[in-house]
Amino acid sequence: MNEKIDSFLEANTCASIACLDSQGHPYCFSCYYAIDSKEGLLFFKSSSDSNHVAFLQSKPIVAGTILSDKLNKLQIKGIQLEGIVLSFDNELSQNASLEYYKSHPMAVAMAGEIWTIQINRIKYTDNTLGFGKKIIWERPVN
């Protein structure tokens, strides 16, 4: 993953994720996340009885945004991402809990499961590099 994208993702904590409900309508939720930029994975914790988890289990395609935790309106930086939620038995999900609790140790006390999003595309905007500067990252096709 691009170094500037990786640095931005590591420096921030909250994502807004969009999925599709049972009728195909957009549904958004916010979550704290942890990142494995080497593998292009985003981890979040959520209760299995939440609406969005039910939607994700039937339609795992997602899109999302991440803005700086400390927003500076003159120096906009942000991520737009596309991906897919992986099943718990997917090989890439095996270290999800370890990675998430490393970033958010207090979350151990909260109920819920750790979910994994395989990021397939990122568009990173960083106006500190020039107004409207975009960096694109896409998962390599194997």
Paired tokens of 3? 């170094």
pLDDT category, 72, cuts 50, 70, 90? confident
Residue with tokens 């994720």: 17
Angle at 55 between CA 51 and CA 60, to 5 degrees: 140
Q: Per this entry, what is the length of the chain? A: 142
Cα gap 41→23, rounded to integer Å: 27
- Count of Cβ atoms closer than 10 Å to residue 5 Cβ: 22
C-alpha atoms less than 13 angstroms from C-alpha of 98 in its C-beta half-sphere: 5
Architecture of domain 3-138: Roll (2.30)
Give the DSSP H or E segment for 96: helix 96-103
pLDDT category, 131, cuts 50, 70, 90? confident
Domain layout of the chain by residue ranges: 3-138
Residue with tokens 């490393």: 102
Q: Which of 29, 40, 11, 39 is nearest to 103 (CA)?
A: 11
Separation of first and last alpha carbons in the chain: 15
pTM confidence score: 0.93
pLDDT category, 69, cuts 50, 70, 90? confident
pLDDT category, 44, cuts 50, 70, 90? very high
Query: Is the pLDDT confidence value at 1 over 90?
Result: no
Average pLDDT over residues 113-135: 92
